[in-house]
Structure 1
């Protein structure tokens, strides 16, 4: 079954004191195009993420977002060497200048350099196994959504193909009526010439063939969006030829209806992977 190109999937990561949110979005695009939004230092994972996505998606504009929503807080580290240096100098001052003021802990810890705050960074190397699981979970949800869109697209295109066959039958029937009427008023040579100039049997056969091919593509599991667009272009060419060969109101209306259906199919093909 065909798949669409619009999808969204998300997952949450929680390991030790680290929490992260993973989101993957896709929209229609002619090629495979990935954009990454990751925390600082996670750029080295881009290639791994790309390979993971390519196993599930072959076409579309993909946006991958990884956000660290919680990580270990900063810690305060006591620099004992600085404290010793301060105390040594204070005692030296007391002795030299005969100072008697007592030293309080609050005085010591307020001095510059006694405490140093350190930010604990997320160790990305240890996170990858869990991050990979999250990416796979998000991709699974995204693929389900793309499959649902594909089912809707299949139903819509199938209906348009059915209506196209009704129009080709109208054209064949109208041409039969036209030839029957012309045979009564034209001489043998003139009629043969007219019959030859209005012969659209080849175009009708090819158009019906393309409809059958399109139906097969709708059942495919591999990406077929570009093939559908190509076949729709060929349908348009055959329809234009029919319209140029037969100047008749019924046929002209059928040709206009065919062009409308084909254009809609081309538009839908842009949404098929």
Structure 2
């Protein structure tokens, strides 16, 4: 079985020049493909690449991709603007000489804005380019890892859906075996209803033909059972297909439900009605699982 779920998680870590970072991707089910990014300032140029990679890898799901980074110790080099500090000392000296201020201390000078600076990565275009390139390397592995988790989840989903198809098939067999679904029973009910029409005082031959045709259609559930069997075969085929099949499975679940509803409405005994209701329960399980298939 090769279907993929829309649920998954992946994390890829990297490092370069004293910087460390981690890509994280979370995916949940959605009607279409919705990719949302949370990338820190300074690395916005990565957004287009990440978004395009996600669109190339997946067709459905709400995907949240985050990038977190941290500077290593060697990237925490501080820059002391000595000229600014000297100008401050010289400016304060007359006040010190007049006894109006104490001599400038190192702690006091470092607390003045503009004296001490922590370099930003954006201040060094070459470093920014190198870090972005290194981060970019992790995008494809991130998508592959997310795809793997979605595929693993899909395998479990396929087993659940496949088991539901098996149970639906058993219920269809039970419905076929119901006395009310047998040709002889159908013929007997039709004969009884036709006799009732013939006993009417205002007998109308045309109306008899119309009523008989309508009763024949309503009494015979074999057509619905045949279509249910065909849907089971189509569903099993979908579970083996490569590529997105979630929408097809959702549509198939609707068709299953349509036939089960018709079966219940045509039912003429409690056993067949109970079987039809059990069918609807299993079909709901298929529908719920299909909603999470890519």
Question: TM-score, structure 2 length as denominator?
Answer: 0.77
Residues 1:38 and 1:175: Cα distance change in structure 2 (over 3 Å)? same
- CA offset at residue 259 of structure 1? 0.3
Cα-to-partner distance string for 1:136-190 (whole Å, 9 max, x where unaligned): 2222222211111111111111111111111112222215665434656874883
Worse-superposed segment, 167-176 or 157-166: 167-176
Given that 1:2 and 1:151 are in contact with CA atoms closer than 8 Å, whether structure 2 keeps it comes out as yes
- Alpha-carbon distance in structure 2 between the residues aligned to 1:29 and 1:176: 43
Cα-to-partner distance string for 1:75-104 (whole Å, 9 max, x where unaligned): 22343487389669979x99xx9xxxxxxx
Cα-to-partner distance string for 1:83-138 (whole Å, 9 max, x where unaligned): 389669979x99xx9xxxxxxxx968678579722222235432232212222222
Given that 1:5 and 1:272 are in contact with CA atoms closer than 8 Å, whether structure 2 keeps it comes out as yes
Worse-superposed segment, 232-241 or 133-142: 133-142
Structure 2 match to 1:151: 155
Q: Are residues 1:249 and 2:234 paired?
A: no
Cα-to-partner distance string for 1:58-79 (whole Å, 9 max, x where unaligned): 1111111111122521522343
Given that 1:21 and 1:69 are in contact with CA atoms closer than 8 Å, whether structure 2 keeps it comes out as no
Task: Give 1:59-208 correspondences, 5 Å limit.
Answer: 59-71=60-72, 72-80=75-83, 83=86, 116-123=115-122, 124-175=128-179, 179-181=183-185, 183=187, 187=191, 190=194, 194-208=215-229
Residues 1:219 and 1:36: Cα distance change in structure 2 (over 3 Å)? same
Given that 1:157 and 1:268 are in contact with CA atoms closer than 8 Å, whether structure 2 keeps it comes out as yes
Structure 2 match to 1:30: 31
Q: In structure 2, the residue corresponding to 1:55 is in which secondary structure?
A: helix
Residues 1:52 and 1:266: Cα distance change in structure 2 (over 3 Å)? same
- Alpha-carbon distance in structure 2 between the residues aligned to 1:178 and 1:239: 18
- Alpha-carbon distance in structure 1 between the residues aligned to 2:56 and 2:113: 53
Given that 1:108 and 1:114 are in contact with CA atoms closer than 8 Å, whether structure 2 keeps it comes out as no
Residues 1:63 and 1:111: Cα distance change in structure 2 (over 3 Å)? closer
Given that 1:2 and 1:150 are in contact with CA atoms closer than 8 Å, whether structure 2 keeps it comes out as yes
Given that 2:46 and 2:136 are in contact with CA atoms closer than 8 Å, whether structure 1 keeps it comes out as no
Given that 2:30 and 2:62 are in contact with CA atoms closer than 8 Å, whether structure 1 keeps it comes out as yes
Question: TM-score, structure 1 length as denominator?
Answer: 0.83
Structure 2 residue runs without a partner (length 5+): 123-127, 196-211
Residue of structure 2 aligned with 1:235, choices 236, 253, 256:
256
- Alpha-carbon distance in structure 2 between the residues aligned to 1:160 and 1:177: 23
Given that 2:180 and 2:269 are in contact with CA atoms closer than 8 Å, whether structure 1 keeps it comes out as no
CA RMSD between the two structures: 3.1
Given that 2:85 and 2:115 are in contact with CA atoms closer than 8 Å, whether structure 1 keeps it comes out as no
